């Protein structure tokens, strides 16, 4: 995604909804787990008992919710939106996992509140939150993410100063409204900083590793820690392994040989492989009235992974070039002149790999062979390689 790419309200809304859903699933669940565990421990330091309770600071404290929604509208570019969204998601998942694994309870009781407005606001807070989700302070982590995201949106110097001052006030309010301990604030700041180091501007490819990591974290929290499901634990570990493979990146992590996967790969990655197989089935059904492959030049056909019946529609004895890392090859196609080049989905292959595949295409077509070039769904990888082949023969 280019840093200056156009940004639409649909994109803003999509990122906001994803963050809202993840937050409203994970944060209350972590609170509920702590409440059911009868947690009383805390990380209060001795000096904190002398800190005053400041009722009016509930106003900046609650304004964090406004920033959560408005920040998606205020960022200016598609890259800014991506960075904001991924940082918030990462902070949410890491923090709520920490809450679930090591739950804490705030140590001090609030005094009586005389002001009716402040009393009502604290009453609202007691309905939507509980005194458990403590370390790290997600409020503070969010403040840091908002501050970094909105620096370029607030151009006038005065506006930036006011933004910084208000977000600092929001972070301070976590202590003076008796919501968080000092160490919660420190670790929240560290979490916010960590998200800015892990999610950077200027990325041109989808951060697939991050999304698999987030999916693993949510699955671990909801399925394994909350529902005590061993199946969910297995799913979380499998998703984590996929995330690590994309992070390296390791295009050979599935060890596909002659169109098939070894048994131990199925044990480790069955959720991932089955997910792609179900997606492939859905694509086949959705596009059932369209041809599964097309001829884009003499002797070169491209498309998706084919069923056995669809494979019979190909010209006789084609050379098969399989780019689909995530699906086993149709038996009828893997037993002939079969060549496999593992390309990770949603990632651009390196130039050397593209050149190697294109050279094979040129050689095989030059020898008079018919080629079937395919990836999993027929949308990106096969089209990309075919485009490079057409450019090469045009030169």
Give the model's pLDDT for residue 4: 56
- Which domain does 339 fall in, by range? 293-394
217 within domain boundaries: no
The reply to whether 299 and 168 lie within a common domain is no
Where a domain ends, among 204, 227, 262? 204
The reply to whether 306 and 188 lie within a common domain is no
The reply to whether 186 and 303 lie within a common domain is no
Where a domain ends, among 161, 188, 204? 204
Structure tokens at 207: 């951060």
Residues of the chain with pLDDT under 50: 1
The reply to whether 199 and 313 lie within a common domain is no
The reply to whether 159 and 16 lie within a common domain is yes
Other C-beta atoms within 10 Å of 244: how many? 16
Task: Output phi, psi for 338, to 5 deg.
Answer: -115, 130
223 within domain boundaries: no
Give the model's pLDDT for residue 114: 87
25 within domain boundaries: yes
Give the model's pLDDT for residue 205: 81
What is the number of structural domains in the chain?
2
75 within domain boundaries: yes
| Domain of residue 332, CATH code | 3.90.190.10
How far is Cα 306 from Cα 70, in angstroms, rounded to an integer? 46
Closest CA to 306 of 270, 333, 279, 342: 333
Q: Is the peptide bond before 80 cis (omega within 30 degrees of 0)?
A: no
Give the model's pLDDT for residue 5: 63
Closest CA to 212 of 259, 266, 249, 260: 249
The reply to whether 316 and 191 lie within a common domain is no
Structure tokens at 300: 């070169």
Q: Looking at the DSSP assignment, which residues form a beta bridge with residue 335? A: none
Where a domain ends, among 204, 227, 244? 204
The reply to whether 31 and 152 lie within a common domain is yes
Q: Using a cut of 0.85, tell me whether the model's pTM lies above it.
A: yes
Structure tokens at 309: 């019946």
236 within domain boundaries: no
Q: Do 122 and 110 form a contact (C-beta atoms < 8 A)?
A: yes
Q: Do 305 and 376 form a contact (C-beta atoms < 8 A)?
A: yes
Percentage of residues in the chain having pLDDT higher than 90: 78
The reply to whether 164 and 15 lie within a common domain is yes
Give the model's pLDDT for residue 352: 94
The reply to whether 194 and 46 lie within a common domain is yes
Can you say whether the dihedral through the CA atoms of 151, 188, 14, 349 is positive or negative?
positive
The reply to whether 199 and 299 lie within a common domain is no
Give the model's pLDDT for residue 203: 82
Could you report the per-residue pLDDT of 105-117, keeping only the tens digit for each? Answer: 888 888 888 899 9
78 within domain boundaries: yes
154 within domain boundaries: yes
Other C-beta atoms within 10 Å of 53: how many? 14
The reply to whether 177 and 317 lie within a common domain is no
CA dist list (Å): 312 to 102, 185, 253, 315, 321: 58, 64, 30, 8, 16
The reply to whether 312 and 174 lie within a common domain is no
44 within domain boundaries: yes
Give the model's pLDDT for residue 30: 92
How far is Cα 208 from Cα 292, in angstroms, rounded to an integer? 27
């Amino acid at each position: 995604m280019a840093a200056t790419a156009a940004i639409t309200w649909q994109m803003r809304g999509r990122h906001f909804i994803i963050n809202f859903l993840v937050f409203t699933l994970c944060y209350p669940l972590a609170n509920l787990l702590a409440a059911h565990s009868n947690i009383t421990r805390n990380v209060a330091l001795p000096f904190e008992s002398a800190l005053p309770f400041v009722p009016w600071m509930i106003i900046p404290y609650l304004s964090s919710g406004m920033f959560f929604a408005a920040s998606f509208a205020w960022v200016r570019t598609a890259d800014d939106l991506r960075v904001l969204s991924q940082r918030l998601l990462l902070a949410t998942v890491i923090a709520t996992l920490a809450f679930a694994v090591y739950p804490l309870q705030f140590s001090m009781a609030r005094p009586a509140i005389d002001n009716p407005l402040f009393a009502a606001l604290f009453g609202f807070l007691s309905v939507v939150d509980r005194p458990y989700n403590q370390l790290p302070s997600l409020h503070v982590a969010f403040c840091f993410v908002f501050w970094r995201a909105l620096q370029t949106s607030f151009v006038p110097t005065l506006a930036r100063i006011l933004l910084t001052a208000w977000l600092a006030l929001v972070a301070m309010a976590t202590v003076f409204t008796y919501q968080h301990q000092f160490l919660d604030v420190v670790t929240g700041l560290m979490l916010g900083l960590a998200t800015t180091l892990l999610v950077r501007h200027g990325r041109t490819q989808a951060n697939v590793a991050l999304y698999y990591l987030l999916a693993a974290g949510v699955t671990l929290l909801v399925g394994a820690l909350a529902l005590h499901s061993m199946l969910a634990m297995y799913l979380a570990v499998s998703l984590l392994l996929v995330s690590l493979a994309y992070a390296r990146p390791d295009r050979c992590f599935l060890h596909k040989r002659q169109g098939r996967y070894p048994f131990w790969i199925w044990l480790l990655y069955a959720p991932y492989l089955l997910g792609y197989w179900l997606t492939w089935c859905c694509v086949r059904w959705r596009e059932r009235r369209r041809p599964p492959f097309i001829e884009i030049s003499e002797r070169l056909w491209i498309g998706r992974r084919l069923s056995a019946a669809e494979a019979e529609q190909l010209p006789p004895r084609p050379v098969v070039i399989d780019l689909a890392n995530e699906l086993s090859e149709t038996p009828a196609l893997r037993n002939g002149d079969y060549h496999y080049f593992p390309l990770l989905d949603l990632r651009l292959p390196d130039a050397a790999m593209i050149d190697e595949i294109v050279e094979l295409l040129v050689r095989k077509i030059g020898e008079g062979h018919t080629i079937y070039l395919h990836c999993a769904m027929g949308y990106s990888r096969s089209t990309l390689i075919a485009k490079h082949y057409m450019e090469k023969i045009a030169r």
